[in-house]
Amino acid sequence: MAVEQTGLRGIAALQAEASLIGASRAQLRSFARGMLPEGRTGAFEPAASQPDMWELRVQDARLGAFRFYHGEPECGDPDVAVMLFHQKSTDGLSADEIAQAQDRAMAQAQRRYERGRPCRWGHVDHCSSCLNQ
């Protein structure tokens, strides 16, 4: 949806989408290895309104701000369970409306985390979705 909103078409849209996916995956891999970007304050923070969620921030010059909400299970297997990835909406919204939208997204991620905990979010040994693969 983020790429569609730019009006890009064809190869330019595919390149923008691939760039966002690549940047997001690279950042997740870095965080999973415990590497935080120097000089990027606020890139990784506890989610303001949810006890089990952490927020990873990704900024794309063309596409805007994106957020990952994830949990870090105590068992360490998996190390990171991403519950929600979304584009942060700010256009025409007040600060309160932006905060409310973020709180709703965080609450949705928290619900997914709690529901998925008993089955480890579908994770299995040698999971193809794991970041160390």
Give the pLDDT score at 107.
92
Q: Is residue 55 pLDDT above 90, yes or no?
A: no
- Strand-pairing partners, residue 56, are 44, 68
Supply the DSSP string of 30-54, one letter for each residue: HHHTT-PPTT-TTSEEE-TT-TT-E
User: Counting beta carbons within 10 angstroms of the beta carbon of residue 125, is it exposed (0 to 12), middle (13 to 18) or buried (19 or more)?
Assistant: exposed
> Token pair for residue 76?
């360490």
106-127 pLDDT, tens per residue?
999 999 988 888 887 777 776 6
Assessment of whether the complete model's pTM goes beyond 0.85? no
Indicate if the pLDDT at residue 133 is higher than 60: no
